[in-house]
Amino acid sequence: MAGHNHNKPESEAALRVKAIEQLLAEKGLVDPAALDVMVDLYENRVGPRNGAAVVARAWSDEAFKVRLLDDATAAIADVGYSGIQGEDMVVVENTPEVHNVVVCTLCSCYPWPVLGLPPVWYKSFAYRSRVVREPRAVLAEFDLVIPDETEIRVWDSSAEIRYLVLPRRPADSDGLDEEALAALVTRDGMIGVAAV
């Protein structure tokens, strides 16, 4: 038969996952269609645009910002975002005096409802081990230089508490509406490895 086999041999991990999915489906424990929904949710629908909307609202509405800093989970739910791995969220505000950065040294805990799933670097051994010990050096690797006189606070997330950074509103953003403000906010800013 002409033509060649386009299928690369599957990796060991891919085969094991396929085996496990089949075994669990045969026992009625997983429904492959339900797994599809979960994958789609986190691949395409839950992500940092959620957090950016929260940040933009906090920049625009002082009362909301106060509520966000006091009870982040409730305030974020008011904006429409809640769910697994965000049952207890805490928002930490960057100021001229304090710059915040978030990590999970033990695994990869992250506020999914507002940021989606964490990037590979956040889960890396290098980030997990170094940012708590030498945050300025790590931030410099992200091209973020924090002045010596600014305190850096590193927040180690846990199974129970997930942190989100409220970045400083850019100086030249007066007059922008919430949608335009949200477009300025990056995932890296909400983790603390970028200014905004």
Partner 1 sequence: MDGIHDMGGMHGFGAVPRGEHEEAVFHQPWEGRIFAIAFVVESIVPGANVDAGRHAIERIDPAAYLAASYYERWLRSVESLITDAGVCSDEDIDLRVAALRTKAADV
Helix axes 72-79, 62-70, angle to 10 degrees: 130
Q: Are 122 and 108 in contact (CB under 8 A)?
A: yes
156 binding partner 1? (CB under 8 A): yes
Query: Does residue 11 carry a catalytic annotation?
Result: no
- The rounded distance, in Å, linking the Cα atoms of 196 and 190 is 7
Within 13 Å and on the Cβ side, how many CA atoms surround 174?
2
22 binding partner 1? (CB under 8 A): yes
Query: Does residue 109 carry a catalytic annotation?
Result: yes
| Residue 14 or 74 having the CB closest to partner 1 | 14
**Considering only residues 112, 127, 155, 163, which one is a binding residue for partner 1 as defined by CB under 8 A?**
127
**Considering only residues 1, 4, 9, 177, which one is a binding residue for partner 1 as defined by CB under 8 A?**
9
Query: Does residue 129 carry a catalytic annotation?
Result: no
> What is the Cα gyration radius of the chain?
20
Retrieve residue 120's tokens. 């590979």
- Choices 67-75, 129-137, 164-172, 177-185; region in contact with partner 1 by CB under 8 A: 129-137
- The rounded distance, in Å, linking the Cα atoms of 41 and 35 is 10
Round to the nearest angstrom and report the end-to-end CA distance of the chain. Answer: 57
| Residue 57 or 187 having the CB closest to partner 1 | 187
For partner 1, the binding residues (CB under 8 A) are: 5, 7, 9-24, 27, 29-30, 34-36, 38-39, 42-43, 84, 103, 105-108, 116-117, 119-121, 123-130, 132-133, 138, 141-142, 156, 159
